[in-house]
Chains A and B, each alone.
Chain A
Amino acid sequence: TQLLEQSPQFLSIQEGENLTVYCNSSSVFSSLQWYRQEPGEGPVLLVTVVTGGEVKKLKRLTFQFGDARKDSSLHITAAQPGDTGLYLCAGDGLGGATNKLIFGTGTLLAVQP
C-alpha cells in the first residue's frame, strides 16, 4: 500500500492545455514537496509547502497544500513540451519521523507540440 497516491498515473496533452495532478494520502504530513524527474536524471525539487491551505506559484505552476495537510495538487497552465517529465510528490514528517521523505507513485506527463 502506497502512502501517497498520485493521479492520474499518465497524462498526454497538447501544448497550451491546462492540467492538474493530485497527490492524496490518509496521513498527515509536516510538509509536502513536488519534484520533476527527467529520463536519466534524478528528481529535481520544484517547491515545498508547509502550511495547510498554502498556495505557491512558480511561473505557470501552482501548488496547493490541503487544509488538513493530507493532500496536495499541482496545476500547470498552458503546458509546454519542456514540462514533460515524471512529477513526484513527497511527504515529510509522517508519524513525527522527519528523517526521510516518502514519495508518491508519480505522474508521467507528456506534452505534445
Chain B
Amino acid sequence: DSGVTQTPKHLITATGQRVTLRCSPRSGDLSVYWYQQSLDQGLQFLIQYYNGEERAKGNILERFSAQQFPDLHSELNLSSLELGDSALYFCASSVGGTGRYGYTFGSGTRLTVV
C-alpha cells in the first residue's frame, strides 16, 4: 500500500457520459498530480494541485476538470466521454510542490468507455 488511495479501481461507462475519479494523497503530502496512461501515449501529465490551488496544467482536455478539496483529496471529472478516453488514470502525491524527489502513485483507475 503506497498510501495514495484511488477509487474506483475499474469503471466501465458509455460514450457521452460523465465520471468522477477520486484520489486521497499520502498523509502529509500537499500536492496531487493526475496522469493518464495509454498504450500509445505512455504516461501523460494532466494537472497538478498544491494545497487546494491549481499549480500546473498539462495536456488536459477541456472536457476534463479537476479540483482539490480542503481535506486535500482530489477529484478528476471526465465528461462527454469518448472511446479514446479509455485509459488508466493515475493520481500521485508529493510533500512539496515539485517532482524533484519523486512521486508516490496510487494503483490507478482503469476507465473503459464503450
Residues in B neighbouring A98, C-beta threshold 8 A: 97-100
- Convert B48-92 into 0s and 1s, putting 1 for each residue whose CB lies closer than 8 angstroms to a CB of A: 100000011010000000000000000000000000000000101
Listed in ascending order, the chain B residues whose CB lies under 8 Å from chain A are: 2, 4, 33, 35, 42-45, 48, 55-56, 58, 90, 92, 97-108
Question: Known contacts A41-B108, A42-B90, A43-B105; can you find 15 more A-B pairs with CB under 8 A?
Answer: A30-B100, A31-B101, A35-B105, A40-B107, A41-B107, A42-B92, A50-B100, A92-B100, A97-B56, A99-B48, A100-B48, A101-B103, A103-B43, A104-B42, A106-B42
State how many residues of chain A have any CB contact under 8 Å with chain B: 27
**How many angstroms between the C-alpha atoms of A45 and B108 in the bound complex?**
15
Residues in A neighbouring B4, C-beta threshold 8 A: 42
How many contacts A-B (CB < 8 Å)? 69
Looking at chain A's contact residues, the main secondary structure is loop
**How many angstroms between the C-alpha atoms of A93 and B102 in the bound complex?**
12
- Among A90, A101, A102, max chain B CB count under 10 A is at A101
Is B99 a contact partner of A101 (Cβ separation < 8 A)?
Answer: yes
